[in-house]
Amino acid sequence: MSIDRIVVERATKRYAAITVFERLELAVREGETLCVLGPSGCGKTTLLRAMHGLVPLDDGSVLIDGTRVSVPRRNVAMVFQHFGLFPWKRVDENVAYGIELAGLPRDQVRERVARYIELVGLVGFERHYPHQLSGGMQQRAGLARALATEPDILLMDEPFGSLDAQTREILQDELLRIYQRDPRTMVFITHAIEEAIALGDRVLVMTRRPGRVRELISVDIPRPRTVASVIAHPRFLALRDHCWRLLREQQVMA
Amino acid sequence: MTYDRAVELEPAAAAPARSRWRRLRPGDWAVRVGSIVLVLGVWELFGPSLNKLILRPPSAIFAAFFELVENGELQAALGQSLRELVGGLAIALVLGIVLGIASGRWRFVYNALDPLVSALYSVPSVALVPLIAVAFRSIGDAPRIATVALFAIFPILINTQQGVRNVDRQLLEVARAFNTSERRLWTDVIVPAAVPYVLAGVRLGIGRGLIGMVVAEFFVGLVGLGYLIISYENVFRVDRMFVPVIVVAAMGIFLMGFVQWIEGRVAPWLKKD
């Protein structure tokens, strides 16, 4: 029996006349990767931001470890689709950002920055500015910045959405490898079905706006995984078709 | 002259300089020097035949330069003008950046300043110089320093304000997601984001400040490069008149280069390569 880390209760979010999601109920378990799929505009990104206290809810609440989230927490880190690197900071300074703010002593910051830059494969690029890096490398830096805070919970907002197909698959494998070494609770927003199945222990398919839970699908493909091994797995096609059908029915209605 | 270009750029807040023309190649230098040599050559050869009195050839101006250095007039005027320029630009820089940041960040300050800034910026600054002359009369360099500051402050203030207001919202959210303190929000996000805007404003401000310096010396007191220009113009010594004009232009070129150098120092991430 696993523990619920993040619990979303009757969450409702409106922007003026638009209801983004309404009375949404969801629980994310300790150590699992929950991938969230849904038609665009269904509120997946808003939901993720609400989980981090970046967006206030109109009704209901998000609980992490049993307490209500109102502001970003130190044990939760976020990775952004737009990378969110500071153009005026070098890679090492960007990676150091979160842990400096957490008040770590300088020598520990240095040690951790080196460790996480190595983990994401950016050794040799410490002193580069973001604009000198490819998109894939920029997101490696974004990932290192989040991981360096050693969070219990990672919130990923379509982190690979703007990368080309090959880079994306390489980074998906990296993420699976990092998870294997050091599993942690993760919520991963995506619009790519293959990505959701490859990375997720469960896949949440949302309805079109106002977003609700259409179905929670368990991905019964064992770890350790690679993208290639997941796609080659006999369960993969059935899972993908199932997700496709659920998403299609939402698109047709839209 | 350098500052004419700056004046043309003024109406909108100038975007951070990042054009592909910024890095000059050896061929660019040849063209730049060549065009100056060509203009000077045509002037030297044909100028005097058009108007002997007014279009004095470059060689005569060159000679006049040494006359003015020898009798010490040029150094004295330059020292005087530099004092005014440095004083005025320092005031414009400090006030412009402080007010720009405050009005970019706080709605109250923005509302309080915006009508004043718009009004003062739309009035040709020259029209205000007599007013300044009266207000600061007989306090040494004060009226001229105030004029330089008045001319230079607006592009700096407006650009700084734009820079602070245009901070990437996504980066502000990132800062929030990492629990950034208010102090670190300024040092890590807002100020660095505004730097290129501020420096573009400073470049424009320097151009306007030079105009302010010369205009103030036309109107207030009998000192500096501006006075040198107008006094030699009045006695039709056009060759001597041109010397301080060229010195002002050289000051502009030097100061622009200096700002560029500063930019490389404080904002190394802007170097595209």
Which positions in chain A touch B176 (Cβ < 8 Å)?
Answer: 54, 72
With cut-offs at 50, 70 and 90, classify the pLDDT of residue B17: very low
Cβ atoms of B188 and A86 within 8 Å: the answer is yes
With cut-offs at 50, 70 and 90, classify the pLDDT of residue B41: very high
Mutation for testing the B interface, residue in A88, A91, A101 having most B CBs under 10 Å: A88
Q: Do B135 and B236 reside in the same domain of the chain?
A: yes
Q: Kindly identify which residue of chain A lies nearest to residue B177, measuring between CA atoms.
A: A72
With cut-offs at 50, 70 and 90, classify the pLDDT of residue A202: very high
With cut-offs at 50, 70 and 90, classify the pLDDT of residue B7: very low
Q: Read off the pLDDT of each residue in A172-177 and give the average, rounded to a whole number.
A: 94
Residue B91: both structure tokens together: 């005031």
- Tell me if B6 is assigned to some domain: no
Q: How far apart are CA B183 and CA B191, in angstroms?
A: 11
Nearest to B177 among A52, A86, A89 (CB): A52
Q: Do B40 and B131 reside in the same domain of the chain?
A: no
Q: Kindly identify which residue of chain B lies nearest to residue A86, measuring between CA atoms.
A: B171
Q: Do A226 and A173 reside in the same domain of the chain?
A: yes
Last residue of a domain, one of A151, A183, A202: A151
With cut-offs at 50, 70 and 90, classify the pLDDT of residue B167: very high
* Cβ distance of A80 and B273 shorter than 8 Å: no
Task: List A253's β-bridge partners, or say none.
Answer: none
Number of residues that this document lists for chain A:
254
Last residue of a domain, one of A151, A171, A191: A151
Q: Per-residue pLDDT for B6 more than 90?
A: no
Pure H helices in chain B: 2-9, 26-50, 58-70, 73-105, 107-122, 129-135, 142-165, 169-177, 182-184, 191-219, 224-234, 238-266
- Tell me if B229 is assigned to some domain: yes
Share of chain B above pLDDT 70, in %: 90
Q: Do B96 and B46 reside in the same domain of the chain?
A: no
Q: Do A64 and A88 reside in the same domain of the chain?
A: no
pLDDT computed for residue A204 by the predictor: 96
At B10, give phi and psi (nearest 5°): -60, -50
Q: Per-residue pLDDT for B13 more than 60?
A: no
Q: Per-residue pLDDT for B222 more than 90?
A: no
User: What pLDDT digit, counting tens, does each position of A34-59 carry?
Assistant: 999 988 878 899 999 999 999 999 99
Q: Do B109 and B197 reside in the same domain of the chain?
A: yes
Q: Do A193 and A230 reside in the same domain of the chain?
A: yes
Q: Do B44 and B100 reside in the same domain of the chain?
A: no
* Cβ distance of B177 and A86 shorter than 8 Å: no
Mark B142-180 as b/e (b = at least 16 C-beta within 10 Å): bbbbbbbbbbbbbbbbbbbbbbbbebeeebebbbbbbbb
Q: Per-residue pLDDT for A96 more than 70?
A: yes
Q: How many domains does chain B have?
A: 2
To the nearest 10°, report the CA torsion of A155, A159, A165, A168: -60
- Tell me if B112 is assigned to some domain: yes
For residue B90, the domain's CATH number is 1.10.3720.10
pLDDT computed for residue B220 by the predictor: 85
pTM over 0.90: no
Nearest Cα to Cα of residue B73 among B240, B245, B239: B240
> Distance of CA B88 to CAs A41, A237, B201, B257, Å?
54, 73, 15, 19
Residue B151: both structure tokens together: 């001319």
Q: Do B87 and B169 reside in the same domain of the chain?
A: yes
Q: Do B248 and B130 reside in the same domain of the chain?
A: yes
List CB contacts of A166: < 8 A, sequence separation 6 or more: none
Q: What is the DSSP letter of B12?
A: S
pLDDT computed for residue B2 by the predictor: 35
Q: Within 13 Å of residue B178, how many CA atoms lie on the same side as its CB?
A: 33
- Tell me if B15 is assigned to some domain: no
With cut-offs at 50, 70 and 90, classify the pLDDT of residue B3: very low
Alpha carbon of B171: minimum distance to chain A alpha carbons (Å):
6
Residue A19: both structure tokens together: 């209801």
Nearest to A101 among B171, B178, B272 (CB): B178
Cβ atoms of A193 and A238 within 8 Å: the answer is no
- Tell me if B89 is assigned to some domain: yes
pLDDT computed for residue B190 by the predictor: 93
Share of chain B above pLDDT 90, in %: 59
- Spatial strand order of the sheet with A18-29 comes to A18-29, A4-15, A59-64, A67-68
Q: How far apart are CA B176 and CA A237, in angstroms?
A: 40
Q: Which residue has the higher pLDDT, B76 or B27?
A: B76
Q: Read off the pLDDT of each residue in A191-209 and give the average, rounded to a whole number.
A: 94
pLDDT computed for residue B123 by the predictor: 87
Give residue A115's domain range: 84-151
> Distance of CA B4 to CAs A154, B148, B202, Å?
54, 16, 15
- Tell me if B1 is assigned to some domain: no
Q: How far apart are CA A99 and CA A109, in angstroms?
A: 7
Residues from B in contact with A at Cβ < 8 Å: 170-171, 173-174, 176-181, 184, 188-189, 192-193, 195, 267-269, 272-273
Q: Do B107 and B64 reside in the same domain of the chain?
A: yes
* Cβ distance of A80 and B174 shorter than 8 Å: yes
Q: Do A145 and A93 reside in the same domain of the chain?
A: yes
Q: Do B218 and B154 reside in the same domain of the chain?
A: yes
Give residue B29's domain range: 21-55
pLDDT computed for residue A40 by the predictor: 81
| Average pLDDT value for chain A | 93
Q: Do B162 and B203 reside in the same domain of the chain?
A: yes
Q: Do B246 and B176 reside in the same domain of the chain?
A: yes
Q: How many domains does chain A have?
A: 2
pLDDT computed for residue B132 by the predictor: 86
Q: Read off the pLDDT of each residue in B166-177 and give the average, rounded to a whole number.
A: 94
> Distance of CA A38 to CAs A52, A223, B21, Å?
20, 25, 45
Q: Do A170 and A219 reside in the same domain of the chain?
A: yes
Question: How close are the terminal C-alpha atoms of chain A, in Å?
Answer: 38
Q: Do A165 and A249 reside in the same domain of the chain?
A: yes
Q: Do B66 and B134 reside in the same domain of the chain?
A: yes
Residue B113: both structure tokens together: 């300043």
User: What pLDDT digit, counting tens, does each position of A144-171 carry?
Assistant: 999 999 999 999 999 999 899 999 999 9
Q: Read off the pLDDT of each residue in B250-262 and give the average, rounded to a whole number.
A: 91
Q: Per-residue pLDDT for A125 more than 90?
A: yes
Q: How far apart are CA B121 and CA B115, in angstroms?
A: 10
Nearest Cα to Cα of residue A28 among A152, A148, A140: A152
How many other CB atoms sit within 10 Å of the CB of residue B230?
A: 16
> Distance of CA B194 to CAs A38, A78, B132, B160, B186, Å?
37, 25, 31, 6, 10
Q: Do A91 and A127 reside in the same domain of the chain?
A: yes
Last residue of a domain, one of A112, A135, A151: A151
User: What pLDDT digit, counting tens, does each position of B106-117 carry?
Assistant: 999 999 999 999
Burial of A114 (0-12, 13-18, 19+ CB in 10 A): middle
At A78, give phi and psi (nearest 5°): -125, 145
Q: Do A71 and A183 reside in the same domain of the chain?
A: yes
Question: How close are the terminal C-alpha atoms of chain B, in Å?
Answer: 30
Which positions in chain A touch B189 (Cβ < 8 Å)?
Answer: 86
Q: Per-residue pLDDT for A97 more than 80?
A: yes
User: What pLDDT digit, counting tens, does each position of B188-204 carry?
Assistant: 999 999 999 999 999 99
Q: Do A63 and A171 reside in the same domain of the chain?
A: yes
How many other CB atoms sit within 10 Å of the CB of residue B10?
A: 15
DSSP secondary structure of B177-224: HTT--HHHIIIIIIHHHHHHHHHHHHHHHHHHHHHHHHHHHHHSSS-H
pLDDT computed for residue B127 by the predictor: 87
Cβ atoms of A60 and A8 within 8 Å: the answer is yes
User: What pLDDT digit, counting tens, does each position of B75-91 carry?
Assistant: 999 999 999 999 999 99
- Tell me if B3 is assigned to some domain: no
- Tell me if B140 is assigned to some domain: yes
Last residue of a domain, one of B11, B32, B55: B55
Task: List A59's β-bridge partners, or say none.
Answer: A12
pLDDT computed for residue B221 by the predictor: 81
Q: Do A36 and A92 reside in the same domain of the chain?
A: no
DSSP secondary structure of chain A: -PPEEEEEEEEEEEETTEEEEEEEEEEEETT-EEEEE--TTSSHHHHHHHHTTSS--SEEEEEETTEE--S--TTEEEE-TT----TTS-HHHHHHHHHHHTT--HHHHHHHHHHHHHHTT-TT-TT--GGGS-HHHHHHHHHHHHHHT--SEEEEESTTTTS-HHHHHHHHHHHHHHHHHS--EEEEE-S-HHHHHHH-SEEEEEPSSSB-EEEEEE---PSS--HHHHHHSTTHHHHHHHHHHHHHHHHHH-
Share of chain A above pLDDT 70, in %: 98
Q: Per-residue pLDDT for B254 more than 60?
A: yes
Q: Do A226 and A174 reside in the same domain of the chain?
A: yes
Q: Per-residue pLDDT for A205 more than 70?
A: yes
